[in-house]
Structure 1
Amino acid sequence: MSAKDLTVLIGVILIIVMLVIPLPGGLLSFLILINISLALIVILVTMNTQEPLDFAIFPSLLLLLTLFRLGLNVSTTRSILSEAEAGGVIETFGNFVTGGNPFVGFVIFLILVIIQFIVITKGAERVSEVAARFTLDAMPGKQMSIDADLNAGMITEQQAKERREKIENEADFYGAMDGASKFVKGDAIAGIVIVLVNIIFGFIIGMTQFGLSFSETVDVFLRLTVGDGLVSQIPALLIATATGIIVTRVAAEGNLSHDVTTQLFRYPKLLYIAAGTVFFLGFTPINFGLTTTIAALLAFGGFYINRAQQKQEDIQEQFEEEADESKEITSPENVVQLLNMDPIEFEFGYALIPIADANQGGDLLDRIVMIRRQLALELGVVIPVVRIRDNIQLNPNEYQLKIKGNEVAKGELYMNHYLAMSPGIEDDSIDGIETIEPAFGLPAKWVSEEMKDEAELSGYTVVDPPSVVSTHITEVIKKQASKLLGRQETQQLIDHLKESYPILVDEVTPDPLAVGEVQKILGKLLDEQVSIRNMPIIFETLADYGKMTNDTDLLAEYCRQALSAQITKQYASENYDMKVITVSPQVEKKIADHVQQTEHGNYISMDPETQQRIIEAVQQQVNQSFVQEGSPVVLCSPAVRMYLKQLIGRFLPDVVVLSYNELEPDLEVESAGVVNVS
């Protein structure tokens, strides 16, 4: 057995001895100081523990200290009543606290007892009881959590065992504290009873056995009793406080002192408010110098803490940045991250930053949001988020638009200028930088703000740079919409349709048409600017014809015919008529005769010379009609529409080709020319 174990055993034996054998005053004084020291050590230890289990012996120690203090009370009571003295410590406490007035000392003792019994002891007892109950109730859930982590491979068997032991120890600790807190309560009651006994029997013994007068009895026995009560209640108060601290302790990063200073002064600006409040109290009858001093201390504390927090935040931020950079460089996954590609990217030179920076009045981000909403309504496609960033490799006034990493458009803007598009007749008085309008390829000029009004009076269409770039983005995305519609996006559209039309969707996909085939059909419609917003009609058509053929080109033609009302409204004029260029029967026959049918689909196979003649004939009619009536529509029979579009699409991408079945019967059609070749 070690020396430490013997010390504890001998201490317990001495406590028992104190209950039986009278002790001299000098030894009592020594033991009283030991009692105060032990109480002070206990409260300091409880303040510096991070978790209650770090001081798991506390319930047993609480019992031993209570027994030691009661043994001292018995010994001091015996000494006071039998010899009218109890050592220098008790007498010193009695003289110092009472200040020559025993009744004042008695009042102070009562106040200490009330504080300990009603405030601290009652609260600690209640917290111990609730903590024990909640800990026991939470044990099954914690055990299940450990088992789940173990089954998922998140912890090892050894870690699970340690966590189970910790839960069991917590339950035992809080259960023991629930019982040990009753000792604190009983100790407070015993202290009151002992003091009353000392006073009552001290008066009787002093006046009968020692022959003292009433005033002498009050001076001797009340003073000694108050001193004895104080040297007993002070360590009892420390132990009760330590009990309250340890049962109210929650898991934290540091000890009590660290947590108090960290959390109490976490918001230094509040110290300024407190300082201002205390300062204004000085204008009341309260001492102005005192309030000003305290307010200055609070304000200085707020300033000091705020500066320290700022330094700590700067250091932490720098450390995190260095850690992130180190992690990014050394992480094996950083190469994989480089493979990620934004669907749409808009990059611009540094001179164009004001159009995107909201702090400088730029509204490009809001315009992009409106573009996405507009295209969702017009095309029925959810456009991905546009990644906007500056690029120092571009010219200062240059911008470019990328679709899946490939540049599809670029342009140039001049800040503090306006784009003036010609009405058809140039006005030489309008000075500006010659350019081409990026969205539609029209001749234009960049004019200064002073020239803006004059250009408008001359008939020019004048727009600001943000409107130019947003229009350009809109038109480019319209043309590239089919490239943005992948299988994932198609599945999202199908899932959205299925919420309202589950039976219709189940009839189309995954059988007879897979998601990829549906995506190709929708892409072909978008290639020719046909909105796919009306998904129910498209799927109704696919349900009707999907079982007869899996040719996506042919199915797209059927969908176009089903969307005839939509297509007619899209290209008809306000008077519900349409200028068209018809295709002669000879040209249609040439095209139909050169259609090749294969197992992979149908395509047109025509000699280059004939192709060139047809393309030139269409180009001639389009140019003539454009001068006379504006951009016309080429109209042909349904059997050759798809192949005619394939034939001229590469050379005349903006020419709209429709079939008779794609127009409503009540539409008035007027021929503006005929495509014919010899």
Structure 2
Amino acid sequence: MKARDLSVLLGVILIIVMLVVPLPGWLLSILILCNISLALIVILVSMNTEEALQFSIFPSLLLLLTLFRLGLNVSTTRSILSEADAGGVIDTFGSFVIGDNALVGFVVFVILVIIQFLVITKGAERVSEVAARFTLDAMPGKQMSIDADLNAGLISEQQAKERREKVEKEADFHGAMDGASKFVKGDAIAGIIIVLINIIFGLIIGMVQKDFTFTEAMNTYMRLTVGDGLVSQMPALLIATATGIVVTKTTTTGNLGSEVTGQLLQFPKLLFIAAGTIFLLSFTPINFFLAVAIAGLLALGGYTLQRQTEEPAASESEEDKQVEQSESMNTPENVVDLLNMDPIEFEFGYALIPLADKDQGGDLLDRIVMIRRQLALELGIVVPVVRIRDNIQLEPNAYRLNIKGNEAASGELLLDHYMAMSPEMDDEEIEGIDTKEPAFGLPAKWISEDDKDEAELSGYTVVDPPSVVSTHITEVIKRFAHELLGRQETKQLIDHLKESYSILVEEVTPEPLSVGDIQKVLAKLLRESVSVRNLPVIFETLADFGKMTNDTDLLAEYARQALAPQITKQYAGDDMALNVITVSGQVEKMIAENIQQTEYGNYLALDPDSQEQIVKAIHAEAEKMTLQEETAVVLCSPAVRMYLQQLVERFLPQVAVLSYNDLEPSVNVQSIGVVNPE
């Protein structure tokens, strides 16, 4: 055990001993001086810390110091009442304050006690209580601010984590200070009671047991009581003051000395006004030379500070700054920083700045927070932070969404309009600017706010611009989710799963499958709009088939079959009914006969004419389903599903290709079309 730790433990044991065992006067004097020294150290440390959390041990330390002081009070009271002696320190303090008149000295001591209890201790208690309440009330707002900065790309994930921990620690600290301040108040009350006990019982013991006269007993026990009270209340006063300093240290960024001098003397001209006021007082019966001297010091201080603020040191500091900037730009670290690329970046023209500016009512940052949470539930991955920035190179009303540095989508918003969508009707009475809904490509109009109610009555779906862009961002991220899931993100998912399913994870990775293999399986599922949130089921499948094959495409097919309940729910809904386009046996045979098997995997080697015929047939049937407002679903055998999906996704990405094994046996499948080559 370290010497520091041992010293604290021995100190606690000593406190317990003080409460039981009588101590000699010389040892009490040593402990009293130690108590005063500790109190001085505490208040000096509290004045020099820049923020409250730098002295986070203060609540616990406050309890130990209070217990130590009370232990000293018990020991000194025992010595005063039993021996009429409590060491040289108490006797010296008492004699210094009492002087020749015991009554006047006692009155001075009472005033000190009143100041300690009513002003310092009570004020520190109230400040601690208010600080704790307001800190707890402000926690949700601070957390939302951190999330907003994180989504705006102003801070990293690690910085956000550190800020959240700091907010939690601040709440815990102020809560602890609220409780600990009650001990300070109790200590002050106990000190007053102990003083009364020492005086009353001291007089009784002195006159009854020691045969002192009333005057002798009064002088002796009054001196010792006042001395004991002083050596007890002085450290208590310092500790209570330190408590107030620590809990009020919320808006300053430096230590107390620099903040006081820096802020109190920030306006040198006011010192001249104060000097003039004091100089005028010299013409009253107040001492002329004293008033003039103080006024002169104030004026000299104001002149000196004003000269310091007016010195032309800006050019020198600017040169130093330029030198530092030039040196820093030549360092390799800054060059490396330029290589960083945001996974998701949302850029917009200057006319759309109110969309993201909270001061102008913009809530885009909050919406993106909700989008990330929604996609985490839907897709089962943690979507990276969306970096939001304005770009003057874009058109004023334009925006652009980049995925890994490449443009993934773009659009245009009119903030003073609403988007009205109606794919089936076109009311000529509704005037507006023709456009297309960016997420799904539906025909739409930008209408003014005056036409909003009329458009809604006419059957249009009316959406405000923030909702339009939020929907667009959501759909684009869904479409590119497989690109956003890299090895690092996959490792995070595996680590999260390992907390609950450690044996399952150990059976899958690093053998027989690497993190890269698992990432390919998950990315393939996401590419085909299959959520990977049910990781335990996926890993169970990988554990079963990973030792048989390392073909990630084939493993993804096995995972799809294990996720059949989820896929069925996704496409069939609650009524378990699904309309599909079936693939004829001729087409399936054509695909099966043209599968090429290589050491790098299998692929479909179908001639271009046959591919075109199959795609045209699927496209024709899919259009019929779209007209009926149904999702186009192609159903085929498990043996060819993977290869048909590879063919279809290049030309018809909106069409889903399922196998019979992807669906639950209980689902009611209805074929409304058949894919046949021409």
Q: CA deviation at 1:311?
A: 9.5
Deviation at 1:459, TM superposition (A): 1.0
> Measured at CA, do residues 331 and 638 of structure 1 come closer, stay the same or move farther in structure 2, by a change above 3 Å?
same
> In structure 2, what is the Cα distance between the partners aligned to 1:635 and 1:573?
16
Residue in 1 aligned with 2:588?
A: 588
Residue by residue over 1:126-161, the C-alpha shift from the partner in whole angstroms, topping out at 9 and shown as x without a partner, is 979x99xxxxxxxxxxxxxxxxxxxxxxxxxxxxxx
Q: C-alpha offsets along residues 488-515 of structure 1, whole Å, 9 cap, x if unaligned?
A: 1111111111111111111111111111
Deviation at 1:424, TM superposition (A): 1.1
Q: CA deviation at 1:555?
A: 0.3
1:266 to 238, 251, 262: 262
Contact 1:505 1:539 in 2 (8 A): yes
Confirm or deny that 1:414 pairs with 2:414: yes
For residues 360-408 of structure 1, give each alpha carbon's deviation from its aligned partner in whole angstroms, at most 9, with x where no partner exists. Answer: 1111111111111111110011111111111111111111111111111
1:206-235 deviation digits (Å, cap 9, x = unpaired): xxxxxxxxxxxxxxxxxxxxxxxxxxxxxx
1:633 corresponding residue in structure 2: 633
Call closer, same or farther: CA 1:623–1:302 in 2, change over 3 Å: farther
After TM superposition, the structure 1 = structure 2 runs for residues 20-31 of structure 1, keeping only pairs within 5 Å, are none
- What is the match of residue 461 of structure 1? 461
1:422 partner amino acid = S
Going from structure 1 to structure 2, the CA distance change for 1:675 and 1:308 (only over 3 Å counts) comes to farther
Which digits, 9 at most, give the CA deviation of each residue in 1:422-475, with x for residues without a partner? 241101111111111110011111111112222111111111111111111110
Cα offset for 1:574?
Answer: 3.6
Give the 3-state SS of the residue equivalent to 1:339 in structure 2: coil
Distance 2:474 2:303 in 1: 53
Aligned residue in 2 for 1:199? none
Give 3-state SS (helix, strand or coil) of 1:265's partner. helix
Cα pair 1:348 1:394 within 8 Å, conserved:
yes
**C-alpha deviation, 1:518, in angstroms:** 0.7
Cα RMSD over matched residues? 3.9
How far did 1:635 drift? 0.9
Deviations 1:609-642 (A, max 9, x none): 1111100000011111221352231111111111
Cα distance change on mapping 1:326 and 1:657 into 2, 3 Å: same
Residues 268-298 of structure 1: CA deviation (Å, up to 9, x unaligned): 28999x99xx99xx9xxxx9998x9999998
**Equivalents in 2 of 1:296, 1:361: separation in Å?**
54
Matched AA of 1:396 = P
CA separation in 2, counterparts of 1:524 and 1:534?
Answer: 15
Tell me what 1:480 maps to.
Answer: 480
Deviation at residue 306 of structure 1 after TM alignment: 10
**In structure 2, distance between residues paired with 1:289 and 1:446:** 82
Is residue 400–residue 410 contact of structure 2 (8 Å, CA) maintained in 1? yes
**1:292-307 mapped onto 2 (5 Å cutoff):** none
Deviation at 1:266, TM superposition (A): 2.6
Structure 2 gaps, min length 5: 1-31, 42-88, 90-254
Q: Cα distance, 1:535 vs. partner?
A: 0.6
> Is the partner of 1:267 in helix, strand or coil?
helix
In 2, the alpha carbon distance for the partners of 1:548 and 1:661 equals 20
* Amino-acid identity (%): 62
Could you report, residue by residue, the CA deviation over 1:650-678 in whole angstroms, capped at 9, with x for unpaired residues? 11001011111111111111112111124
Bigger radius of gyration, 1 or 2? 1
Q: Secondary structure at the match of 2:578?
A: strand
Find the residue that maps to 2:512 and give its secondary structure: coil
CA distance in structure 2 between the partners assigned to 1:289 and 1:430 by the alignment: 88
Give secondary structure in 2 for the equivalent of 1:383.
coil
Distance in 1 between the 2:469 and 2:616 partners? Answer: 33
Distance 2:432 2:295 in 1: 66
| Other-structure match for 2:540 | 540
Letter in 2 for 1:608: P
Equivalent residues, number: 422
**Residue 358 of structure 2: aligned partner:** 358
Give the 3-state SS of the residue equivalent to 2:582 in structure 1.
strand
* 8 A contact 1:268–1:302 mirrored in 2: no
Give, in whole Å, the separation in 2 of the partners of 1:676 and 1:462.
Answer: 41
Q: Is the 8 A contact 1:268 1:303 kept in 2?
A: no
Query: Structure 1 residues 366, 306: CA separation in 2 closer, same or farther (over 3 Å shift)?
Result: farther
The one-letter code matched in structure 1 to 2:471 is T
Could you tell me which residue of structure 1 aligns to residue 656 of structure 2?
Answer: 656
Q: Describe the shift of the 1:608–1:487 C-alpha distance in structure 2 as closer, same or farther (beyond 3 A).
A: same
**Using the alignment, how far apart are the partners of 1:419 and 1:512 within structure 2?**
52
**What corresponds to 2:600 in structure 1?**
600
Distance 1:654 1:384 in 2: 25
In the aligned structure 1, how far is the partner of 2:634 from the partner of 2:256? 82
SS in 1 for 2:373: helix
Mark the CA change 1:367 to 1:383 in structure 2 (over 3 Å): closer, same or farther.
Answer: same
Task: Map 1:562-573 onto structure 2 (within 5 A).
Answer: 562-573=562-573
Residue aligning to 1:368: 368
The TM-score with structure 2 as length reference comes to 0.56
